[in-house]
């Protein structure tokens, strides 16, 4: 494996149009570790006036993607699970903090905690990664 670089994840997120459209901001990008924030807008709410689960998942998935793209090899999600613990609504700011739990060969396991502006846990996400043979 090549030496980890910040530039690989930064280059990836700079081209990520979906995360940009959702207003996500990367506040930390280190090998195996990332923090991404997003302010919830009215158009991110479901029919019950709470943040749509897919929006929370997208935030967690973006932090996961940054954390697991540690080098020049392209790493993709092999699967992920999320548990929603607390509803949020428009005007709140969510923060997803991702960290590597284990890496072995081409496989990785990452945990992402999503919290609100008060530090209360909104969701817990576990992602499984697969490092491809493709390079950036």
CA angle 61, 34, 24 (to 5 degrees): 60
pLDDT average, residue stretch 40-62? 98
pLDDT at 53 over 80: yes
- Tens-place pLDDT, residues 24-33: 999 999 989 9
Asked if residue 4 has pLDDT above 60, the reply is: no
Considering the chain, what is the average pLDDT of its residues? 92
The structural domains of the chain, with segments of one domain joined by +, span 6-135
**The most confident of 6-10, 64-68, 71-75, by mean pLDDT:** 64-68
Has domain 6-135 been given CATH number 3.10.20.70? no
Question: Regarding beta strands 25-30 and 73-84, do their DSSP bridges make them parallel or antiparallel, or are they unpaired?
Answer: unpaired
0.85 cut: is pTM over it? yes
Which pLDDT does position 7 carry in this prediction? 56
Sheet holding 107-115, edge to edge: 25-30, 33-39, 93-104, 107-115, 121-135, 73-84
Tell me 40's DSSP state. Answer: P
Q: What is the pLDDT of residues 93-131, one digit of tens each?
A: 999 999 999 999 999 999 999 999 999 999 999 999 999
Q: What percent of the chain has pLDDT over 70?
A: 94
């Amino acid at each position: 494996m090549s030496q980890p670089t910040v530039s690989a994840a930064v280059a990836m997120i700079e081209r990520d149009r979906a995360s940009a459209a959702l207003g996500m901001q990367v506040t930390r990008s280190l090998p195996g570790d990332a923090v991404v924030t997003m302010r919830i807008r009215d158009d991110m709410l479901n029919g019950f006036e709470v943040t749509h689960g897919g929006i929370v998942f997208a935030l967690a998935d973006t932090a996961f993607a940054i954390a697991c793209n540690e080098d020049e090899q392209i790493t993709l999600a092999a699967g992920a699970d999320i548990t929603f613990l607390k509803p949020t609504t428009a005007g709140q700011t969510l923060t997803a903090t991702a960290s590597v739990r284990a890496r072995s060969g081409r496989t990785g396991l990452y945990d992402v905690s999503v919290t609100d502006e008060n530090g209360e846990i909104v969701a817990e996400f576990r992602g499984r990664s697969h490092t491809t043979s493709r390079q950036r």
